[in-house]
Structure 1
Amino acid sequence: MSDEDRTTYLLIDGENLDATLGVGILERRPRPEERPRWERVLSFARAEWDQPVKGLFFLAARHDLPMSFVQALMSIGFRPVPLTGRPDEKIVDIAISRTLQALKDRPADVMLASHDGDFLPDLAELCDGRRTGVIAFQEFRSSGYRELVDRGLEFFDLEYDVEAFDTRLPRIRIIPIEEFDPLEFL
């Protein structure tokens, strides 16, 4: 497979992103209009590394399959991965970890959308010359990922880099001085 034929695998940890948005930022359950526009995340990944993207959206579906959400994901180009398991199992984390391990043997690049440090060992294995990235809210992303920057890991903020939201979120973040707008604070 030539570099022109490479694919980016975009792995979405739906549970983690939704919980971080709700608990960490909004301090309540997000309303549909406050959730990321997932088609923008796919488009961002495609444009950022200028290659085809295969989006896998991992979600816990312990008892019921959220069909309207699954159909919406499919219509924009994601492949939903609905999972079930024992209540004590972190089923989404297990599936993403297995997927990252399976990608080790493929000539593909990987973007992981999650804040979860549990994926650090698996993602470290993929920092072997291929492009790797983490999409998250920078202030909630596991600090352990910083140790992979020297090995090529890139960071993308879900709101500011990906522009996945229709409205500005009520976040407190470190602002690069070139982005500082005093009018936002007046």
Structure 2
Amino acid sequence: MLGIEYQSKRGYIGLEYFGRTVGIKIMPVGVHMGQLQSVLRLPDREWRVSELQQQFEGKTVLLGVDDMDIFKGINLKLLAFENMLKTHPKWQGRAVLVQIANPARGRGKDLEAIQAEIQESCERINGEFGQSGYSPVVFIDRDVSSVEKIAYYTLAECVVVTAAVRDGMNLTPYEYIVCRQGAHRNLNPHRK
């Protein structure tokens, strides 16, 4: 396509570019469909989805699932959600951002600083836009079981993937799409 000479061998492409060879590895990645489908069939999932439907009745649920680290931009996602609530007041009292933060793999001052920023943002947004019985941000900072995570995927109107700083291959959109297959028929029988 670019008119550059290349060689392809066993999942690698080698490009000759301005006197140097640039290697590109082809790595198709996906989710384990069998695992997801087996969890989707568990009775616990149906019970959990029903519980979440009651908890968020009448609300539009947006879902974020990210690792708790300095590169994922969780706080930037919260700031964007806050801006949405400010600039589009019709969503106040209606939109909920459920942010699942997978536990941090490391430690350090940078991580502690971002955790403090995230906590402060959650408190500020919930303080400014929250009402009795309504918190616009639900921050889950603990291990979440597969069943619970899949229940959130099933319920959420959209998943918000914002690899704002740096990210590799993110499987969250794939998992969300698999979990949502047919979900609109199961969640709201009056929806067309």
TM class by shorter-chain length? 0.3 to 0.5
TM-score by length of 2: 0.38
- Structure having the higher Rg: 2
TM-score by length of 1: 0.39
